[in-house]
Structure 1
């Protein structure tokens, strides 16, 4: 499952609160020969929060947030219609994974076909949309909305590209979905869950260290929304060379966490002013944590320089690893090479089912 990892969130060059952006993303994963795991899984997320789930074992689309039940209040057949669509898509993906395995001359082993698609809506009205396939954690095929053509990432994907480009119907269909239907449903979902999705929760910030020679970790957790910057400063100047940024991960309660690691000797930070700065979208005041000995929580030798639990670091790191494993198995993939381009928002039209007639084809 190497390469089927992580939600990759970009880190901007300027540390300013970003404009409010809402997103609707779907991740489809078909797999072969993965023990004790469904052959087909769908995860739907609004603003980075999982709101629906489907898998080939249960064969039911189910809500992951209480507020998603509001969909059934306005559309009584919502869950039944979505389930029916995904049952059909499941069969399509079962065929697709066999097709691609044949192209790569593979007869067995663990393999995955993935699809990521969705849209974003900024508070300035600018929208974005992406639709792309992956195979075994690598790029395979993606839609170029500007030219209404498909881009093959390797020679094995050219067959699919030529088939889809021949009529242009699929490209037109998906472009219309991304620019219209997806945006419309994103607005509905945000309205359903606005009390949750539009809340602002300040993070708890801690400085952690395994051993005296380990990097010092600035760990921000419990914040919402996910738009956060966590960076280190030395004497008021941002540090880059000795800093490693972790990914933004989701906690069980729907909030988020992020860690940024600073490699520095005790002599260096004791003789200079190092501080961690946390900036959260929607909250004006920065949160700072100055690197001094009494602020560091550790599990070496001393009982707690700042925490009552000497195992704090181990628990946090263990939780992060466990979450990465879950993300890897589910196959939630965003490819790092993704090139997002904005487009002018189009008029929307109502529909009884968000994915009705999505037309996802065998690849």
Structure 2
């Protein structure tokens, strides 16, 4: 028999949790993907999207109420112009890079991801910038040496040209270690009531019949950093656990995730099985949901509806994930002379970065 779901929490529901905060920008240029915009940028604070631009709308837009209320029109205009310049750069990349890789036709992506982290407890910071092409690493910036690391031979031409521009690399380091951190702290302050909120999950079990897997569903939680773990008699289980734990957004800004366990009715009778959930915050109490019998679908309509919605969202998340995963694109530029000197022939990056 499945005895209970144990809800374990790690850090104080009513209190503030010290944490490492992050600011990330993802850029993706694509060709041959008519169902997606040719260029997309997404800004994220603590893994929450807060700004967005694509080549269809041609405008930087807010994705959180707190940023829309906290900055003025000049902020959106400045970042719009940066994205428009980057869009032109990426178009050039997606002409030149396939030629360098001896590719003709097909779907191609040019990607950039950059940002910084700040630990609000001990004050430590870090920054990074990565370039990619077709989902693979292309170049990585080394903050210590102010040079670029090229994991593929075809990136060496770009590496040597970018390495030679010491002043630009100094500016890039200054952005990643100072400017980025300053803006990250501002964003955390602007969005404190949203980003720092702590919402415990609702946990449910669903088993269609005695021979089907038992699904453990945690929903309505924030922040997104949780781990679901199945245990038998207090020991973590790996055998029979189905790795369907795709994190999905709910419409209210919270998240949901589930993980299933395939176990025979005979084993259920002889052992105590628990679904253990761990999160960034904690409570001294455990929440146990007794399940004396296999859950009947008719008595768990809400859970079934959530699971159906989750299945649909998986498809959406997978599609969007293609874009966001490939957001490692080329660098930033403004005028036509700069963007024509693209990453494919040695340099398309003037170091411009969003606030």
Asked if the contact 1:276–1:288 (Cα under 8 Å) also holds between the matched residues in 2, the reply is no
Q: Does 1:260 align with 2:236?
A: no
Query: How far apart, in 2, do the equivalents of 1:287 and 1:136 lie?
Result: 46
Deviating more after overlay: 302-311 vs 158-167: 302-311
1:138–1:92 distance in 2 versus 1, CA, 3 Å: same
Query: How far apart, in 2, do the equivalents of 1:27 and 1:58 lie?
Result: 17
Matching residue of 1:151: 149
Q: CA deviation at 1:21?
A: 2.2
**Is the helix fraction higher in 1 or 2?**
2
Q: Does 1:273 align with 2:272?
A: yes
Asked if the contact 2:134–2:326 (Cα under 8 Å) also holds between the matched residues in 1, the reply is no
1:58–1:198 distance in 2 versus 1, CA, 3 Å: same
Summarize the alignment of residues 284-303 of structure 1 with structure 2, pairs less than 5 Å apart. Answer: 284-285=283-284, 292=291, 294=293, 296=295, 303=297
Q: Which has the higher contact order (CA 8 A, sep 6+)?
A: 2
Matching residue of 2:50: 51
Q: Does 1:317 align with 2:315?
A: no
The one-character-per-residue Cα deviations of 1:50-71 (angstroms, maximum 9, x if unpaired) are: 1111011111001111111234
Asked if the contact 2:202–2:219 (Cα under 8 Å) also holds between the matched residues in 1, the reply is yes
The one-character-per-residue Cα deviations of 1:164-202 (angstroms, maximum 9, x if unpaired) are: 123334433322211111111111111111111111111
Asked if the contact 1:200–1:282 (Cα under 8 Å) also holds between the matched residues in 2, the reply is yes
Summarize the alignment of residues 9-24 of structure 1 with structure 2, pairs less than 5 Å apart. Answer: 17=11, 19-24=18-23
Query: How far apart, in 2, do the equivalents of 1:182 and 1:38 lie?
Result: 27
Q: CA deviation at 1:294?
A: 3.8
Q: CA deviation at 1:112?
A: 0.7
The one-character-per-residue Cα deviations of 1:78-131 (angstroms, maximum 9, x if unpaired) are: 111111111111111111122211111112111111111111212221223221
Q: Does 1:99 align with 2:92?
A: no
Q: CA deviation at 1:35?
A: 1.2
Q: CA deviation at 1:160?
A: 1.6
Query: How far apart, in 2, do the equivalents of 1:304 and 1:271 lie?
Result: 27
Q: CA deviation at 1:235?
A: 0.8
Query: How far apart, in 2, do the equivalents of 1:271 and 1:198 lie?
Result: 42
Asked if the contact 2:215–2:258 (Cα under 8 Å) also holds between the matched residues in 1, the reply is yes
Secondary structure, counterpart of 1:107 in structure 2: coil
Deviating more after overlay: 148-157 vs 307-316: 307-316
Gaps of 5+ in 1: 1-14, 297-301, 336-356
Asked if the contact 1:71–1:78 (Cα under 8 Å) also holds between the matched residues in 2, the reply is no
RMSD (Å) for aligned C-alpha atoms: 2.6
Secondary structure, counterpart of 1:322 in structure 2: helix
Query: How far apart, in 2, do the equivalents of 1:293 and 1:157 lie?
Result: 60
TM-score by length of 2: 0.80
Matching residue of 1:358: 351
Query: How far apart, in 2, do the equivalents of 1:183 and 1:207 lie?
Result: 42
Look at both structures and tell me which one has the larger radius of gyration over its CA atoms.
2
Asked if the contact 1:133–1:140 (Cα under 8 Å) also holds between the matched residues in 2, the reply is yes
Secondary structure, counterpart of 2:53 in structure 1: strand
Matching residue of 1:248: 247
Matching residue of 2:206: 208
Q: Does 1:183 align with 2:181?
A: yes
Asked if the contact 1:273–1:291 (Cα under 8 Å) also holds between the matched residues in 2, the reply is no
TM-score by length of 1: 0.78
Identify which of 74, 78, 95 aligns with 1:77: 74
Matching residue of 1:171: 169
